[in-house]
């Protein structure tokens, strides 16, 4: 049994899912787990992401019949097979375009895009930035392992400069994309980063992304043990204390046990890391994920190492609501239809004023 009562969504803390039917009965992880054999390489970070995702879905209160996962091509794009919901394993780079059509025409669906750094940022780059720009109501999970895994180890758009791979035997010459900087440049309202093995952090980010009305982009740092092993060791295990810069709305951006903090140069606006004892806690940046101006969120993304990763901010960079394209499109169609009986008004718009008959 389901309901579209928006107050139920509010009580559960998922008002951003208004319009999507919510279950009146508790859901379980088992309901979302398919009987397909999970086939990734041993030790792949995708296993951890899948396990966390399956744990989150029942908490959202959305039935599997109202859940759709769209993927492109790559290791991450096997994802729809392993979740017992509606799913589509589409074509390379085009998952955002297909998911956009679903979100616009079916407001009763919770639409997710699962993609990788190659799929989303190379052949799919144009689709990705325009989906974000339009702010269509869907959630994008971008698995970033800084390599092409499915095609056996070529460099990707996020591989660091100098990276030696099968396709760059003398080292990559390309400057890598910073996915979160790119998303903010495309006017993203929700931007976050998590680590595959951090179940608590990933859970928190996924729930917040699902709650967001509009496009939500979550970059997940995902280990590829075969072709790019240990790429994110700096933000895992014991090293995470020094490597992870945790972002908590309303709290000072400090890490390394409070020893280090992020400060903003008042003259240039540039962010840097400093010893808290030297600058004073009062001068440490207080994170505001709801700030309308994205400049500080963008500056935080620039604290991520573009080469070998030693340090990276983790958490929600920006969570700002703006009108969603699909909501506006449906309102526009309703207005057009309201100008005549049934679809007459819409048909007049399609026909236009500059038409003529032949014969």
Rg of the Cα trace of the chain? 22
Which pLDDT score, from 0 to 100, does residue 348 have? Answer: 72
Dihedral of alpha carbons 139, 191, 27, 80, sign: positive
- Percent of the chain having pLDDT more than 70? 92
Are residues 104 and 240 located together in one domain of the fold? yes
Tokens of 153: 């180890």
Tokens of 124: 């799919």
pLDDT tens digits along 311-333: 999 999 999 999 999 999 999 88
Are residues 210 and 167 located together in one domain of the fold? yes
Are residues 242 and 296 located together in one domain of the fold? yes
Which carries the bigger pLDDT value, residue 12 or residue 234?
Answer: 234
Q: What range does the domain containing 226 cover?
A: 2-247+289-322
Are residues 178 and 260 located together in one domain of the fold? no
Q: Is residue 339 part of a domain?
A: no
Give residues with Cβ within 8 angstroms of 124, minimum separation 6: 72, 92, 93, 94, 95, 96, 115
Q: Is residue 327 part of a domain?
A: no
pLDDT tens digits along 126-178: 999 999 999 999 999 999 999 999 999 999 999 999 999 999 999 999 999 99
Are residues 6 and 130 located together in one domain of the fold? yes
| pLDDT band, very low/low/confident/very high, at 241 (cuts 50, 70, 90) | very high
Q: Is residue 355 part of a domain?
A: no
| pLDDT band, very low/low/confident/very high, at 4 (cuts 50, 70, 90) | very low
Nearest residue to 117 via CA among 148, 140, 79: 148
Which pLDDT score, from 0 to 100, does residue 359 have? Answer: 72
pLDDT tens digits along 71-93: 999 999 999 999 999 999 999 99
What is the C-alpha separation between 112 and 220, in angstroms, rounded?
14
Are residues 222 and 175 located together in one domain of the fold? yes
pLDDT tens digits along 174-231: 999 999 999 999 999 999 999 999 999 999 999 999 999 999 999 999 999 999 999 9
Dihedral of alpha carbons 13, 19, 20, 25, sign: positive
Q: Is residue 347 part of a domain?
A: no
Are residues 62 and 84 located together in one domain of the fold? yes
| 94 phi-psi bin (left φ>0, alpha ψ -120 to 50, beta other) | alpha
| Most distant CA atoms of the chain, gap in Å | 86
| pLDDT band, very low/low/confident/very high, at 7 (cuts 50, 70, 90) | very low
Are residues 88 and 118 located together in one domain of the fold? yes
Which residue is associated with the tokens 């001068």? 283
Nearest residue to 161 via CA among 308, 335, 310, 352: 308
pLDDT tens digits along 337-357: 776 555 566 677 677 777 777
Burial (CB count within 10 angstroms: exposed 0-12, middle 13-18, buried 19+), residue 251: exposed
Indicate which CATH number applies to the domain containing 172.
Answer: 3.40.50.970
Which pLDDT score, from 0 to 100, does residue 17 have? Answer: 60
Residues listed for the chain: 359
Are residues 28 and 90 located together in one domain of the fold? yes
pTM for this predicted structure: 0.91
Q: Is residue 295 part of a domain?
A: yes
Q: Is residue 239 part of a domain?
A: yes
Q: Is residue 348 part of a domain?
A: no
Q: How many domains does the chain have?
A: 2
Are residues 210 and 267 located together in one domain of the fold? no
pLDDT tens digits along 31-76: 999 999 999 999 999 999 999 999 999 999 999 999 999 999 999 9
Are residues 98 and 187 located together in one domain of the fold? yes
Which pLDDT score, from 0 to 100, does residue 337 have? Answer: 77
Which carries the bigger pLDDT value, residue 339 or residue 12?
Answer: 339
Which pLDDT score, from 0 to 100, does residue 164 have? Answer: 96
Are residues 32 and 115 located together in one domain of the fold? yes
Q: Is residue 353 part of a domain?
A: no
Which pLDDT score, from 0 to 100, does residue 340 have? Answer: 55
């Amino acid at each position: 049994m389901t309901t579209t009562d928006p107050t139920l969504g509010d009580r559960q803390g998922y008002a951003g899912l208004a319009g999507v039917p919510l279950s009146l009965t508790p859901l379980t992880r088992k309901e979302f787990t398919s009987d397909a054999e999970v086939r990734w390489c041993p030790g792949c970070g995708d296993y951890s992401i899948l396990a966390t995702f399956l744990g989150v879905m029942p908490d959202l209160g959305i039935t599997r019949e109202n859940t759709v996962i769209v993927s492109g091509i790559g290791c991450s794009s096997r994802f729809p097979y392993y979740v017992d919901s509606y799913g589509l394993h589409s074509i390379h780079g085009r998952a955002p375009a297909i998911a956009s059509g679903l979100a616009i025409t079916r407001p009763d669906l919770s639409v997710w895009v699962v993609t990788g750094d190659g799929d989303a940022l190379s052949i799919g780059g144009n689709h990705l930035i325009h989906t974000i720009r339009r702010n269509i109501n869907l959630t994008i999970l971008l698995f970033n392992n800084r390599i092409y895994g499915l095609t056996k180890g070529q460099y990707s758009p996020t591989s660091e400069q100098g990276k030696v791979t099968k396709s760059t035997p003398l080292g990559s010459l390309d400057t890598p994309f910073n996915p979160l900087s790119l998303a903010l440049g495309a006017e993203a309202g929700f931007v976050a980063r998590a680590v595959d093995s951090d179940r608590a952090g990933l859970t928190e980010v996924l729930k917040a992304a699902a709650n967001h009305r509009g496009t939500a982009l979550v970059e997940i740092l995902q280990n590829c043990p075969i072709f790019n092993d240990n790429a994110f060791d700096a933000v895992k295990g014991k090293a995470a204390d020094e490597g992870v810069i945790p972002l908590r709305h309303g709290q000072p951006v400090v890490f390394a046990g409070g020893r280090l903090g992020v400060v903003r140069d008042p003259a240039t606006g540039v962010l840097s890391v400093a010893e808290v004892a030297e600058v004073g806690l009062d001068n440490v940046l207080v994170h505001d994920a709801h700030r309308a101006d994205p400049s500080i969120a963008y500056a935080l993304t620039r604290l991520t190492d573009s080469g070998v990763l030693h340090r990276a901010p983790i958490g929600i960079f920006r969570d700002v609501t703006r009108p969603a394209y699909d909501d506006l499109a449906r309102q526009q169609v309703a207005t057009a239809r309201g100008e005549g009986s049934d679809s007459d008004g819409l048909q007049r718009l399609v026909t236009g004023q500059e038409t003529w008959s032949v014969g």
